[in-house]
């Protein structure tokens, strides 16, 4: 398969197309993922200068990506994200932390596609990878450089590594290597971390949250199933202060910058055209300004939502994003989870029909869906899980504030805003929805219509 013939899903899954119809086989998908990830990694390694990502540490603080943006003369309208806000410093820390974690996730996902590594099944039957642990550790490390006494609520803990015998010890050793490599890529003078250091960093995530004080909330790899399949996933970080979300930073390393989608029999998914894939693999003199894939969204309460390149090597100013400004049912698109087990796709289809939406759904793994709504790739996000399922705060905190700061509204299916101050779980009425402010009221009415019909 030639490079130019690849039609890529967001994470590097190859889709072969004829005219407007796209079909795939599992073999084509797997080969395409490996080919794309390997080729792109080789090209990026060739283009990267030795000092491209080096950031030096001064006596008390780190030089942040936001500071670099402030010096960029191409900054749109001279507006600097979070500049002058109460959480300017925290915004810089969060962006930096998510970017460091993204390098780990990129590497581990490529290893998974080559089958050099494999995922692990936890006691609750959910998947976890080296990247989940390593990303949580490195983000805790980065925040801890400025806030050593932080309160931290994360998805992972190190119990399985510490109590897992020789297998656990071996996995922990691999995680420690990943963490040190990522940190030294950004901060070459940082001290080497031991296995015990990494365990302590992972276990900082054992916090319980609550309405008092400041709490960082993290899902280190949201959408692990998408991650292990070479598809979309998110590194979702948020800060809660006195029970209210005040900041979010979400890394989406496989998300296309342009929002291009591919059409399948029953849905849309993010993807790249053959021409774009060829450009991504070719590189060239504009490699430092070419931005095709990899997005980080940041938001500080009252300051809007911004989109950055995942890689700090790409010297492009952040872009302020907004939810869709108008609702046209003929052009509107809604997004939902990929897996039927995670949400009732039949119910979302009914709600979309009540709204008059004619388009197929945009199905995406992880909190990337919140980014899709925030930058108007989709008008609506809906999730209606099984009645017994309890949503965790880290599965939504990072994404919710992005949509809200982009001009949207996020609530449960009854219209009540989400409350992240109740601990590790959310209390919800039936499901979660996100939409523009103009559409939210209509969405509530459509949900009630579908609910009433289902009850008949």
Residue numbers belonging to the annotated binding site: 155, 219, 222, 395
Binding residues for Mg(2+): 155, 219, 222, 395
Contact indicator for 426, 390 with CB cutoff of 8 Å: yes
260 is catalytic: no
Token pair, residue 412, equals 């449960």
224 is catalytic: yes
Q: Which of 224, 276, 298, 348 is catalytic?
A: 224
Residue at token pair 């030294």 = 184
Partners of 62 in beta bridges: 57
Nearest to 311 by CA among 49, 78, 91, 58: 49
Distance set, CA 6 to CA 1, 72, 116, 277, 280 (Å): 7, 35, 23, 7, 12
Rounded distance between C-alpha atoms, residue 33 and residue 10, angstroms: 10
Nearest to 371 by CA among 228, 265, 226, 270: 270
| Backbone φ, ψ for residue 148 (5° rounding) | -65, -25
Q: Which of 132, 203, 231, 377 is catalytic?
A: 132
Residues known to be catalytic: 132, 224
């Amino acid at each position: 398969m030639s490079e130019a013939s690849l039609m890529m899903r967001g994470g590097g899954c190859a889709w072969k197309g004829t005219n407007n119809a796209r079909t795939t086989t599992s073999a084509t998908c797997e080969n395409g993922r490996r080919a794309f990830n390997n080729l792109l990694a080789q090209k990026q390694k060739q283009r990267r200068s030795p000092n491209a990502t080096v950031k030096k540490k001064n006596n008390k603080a780190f030089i942040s990506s936001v500071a670099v943006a402030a010096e960029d003369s191409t900054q749109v309208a001279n507006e600097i994200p979070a500049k002058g806000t109460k959480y300017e410093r925290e915004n810089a820390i969060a962006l930096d932390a998510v970017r460091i974690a993204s390098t780990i996730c990129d590497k581990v996902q490529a290893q998974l596609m080559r089958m050099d590594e494999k995922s692990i099944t936890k006691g609750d039957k959910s998947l976890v990878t080296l990247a989940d642990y390593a990303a949580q550790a490195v983000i805790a490390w980065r925040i801890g450089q400025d806030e050593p006494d932080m309160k931290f609520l994360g998805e992972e803990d190190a119990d399985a590594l510490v109590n897992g015998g020789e297998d656990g010890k071996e996995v922990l050793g691999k995680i420690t290597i990943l963490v040190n490599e990522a940190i030294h890529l950004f901060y070459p003078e940082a001290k080497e971390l031991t296995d015990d250091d990494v365990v302590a960093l992972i276990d900082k995530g054992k916090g319980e949250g609550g309405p008092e004080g400041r709490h960082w909330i993290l899902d280190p790899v949201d959408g692990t199933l998408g991650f292990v399949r070479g598809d979309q996933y998110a590194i979702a970080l948020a800060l809660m202060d006195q029970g209210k979300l005040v900041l979010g930073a979400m890394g989406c390393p496989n998300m296309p910058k342009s929002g291009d989608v591919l059409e399948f029999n029953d849905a849309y998914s993010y993807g790249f055209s053959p021409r774009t894939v060829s450009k991504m693999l070719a590189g060239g003199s504009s490699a430092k300004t070419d931005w095709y894939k990899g997005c980080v969204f940041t938001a500080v309460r009252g300051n809007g939502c911004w989109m950055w390149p995942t890689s700090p090597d790409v010297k492009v100013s952040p872009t302020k994003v907004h939810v869709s400004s108008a609702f046209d049912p003929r052009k509107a698109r809604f997004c939902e989870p990929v897996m039927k087990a995670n949400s009732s796709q039949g119910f979302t289809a009914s709600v979309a029909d009540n709204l008059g939406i004619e388009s197929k759904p945009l199905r995406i793994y992880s909190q990337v869906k919140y980014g899709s709504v925030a930058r108007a790739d989709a008008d609506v996000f809906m999730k209606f899980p099984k009645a017994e399922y309890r949503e965790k705060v880290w599965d939504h905190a990072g994404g919710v504030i992005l949509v809200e700061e982009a001009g949207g509204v996020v609530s449960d299916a009854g219209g009540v805003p989400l409350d992240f101050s109740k601990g590790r779980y959310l209390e919800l009425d039936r499901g979660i929805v996100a939409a523009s402010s103009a559409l939210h009221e209509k969405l509530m009415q459509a949900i009630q219509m579908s609910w009433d019909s289902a009850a008949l």
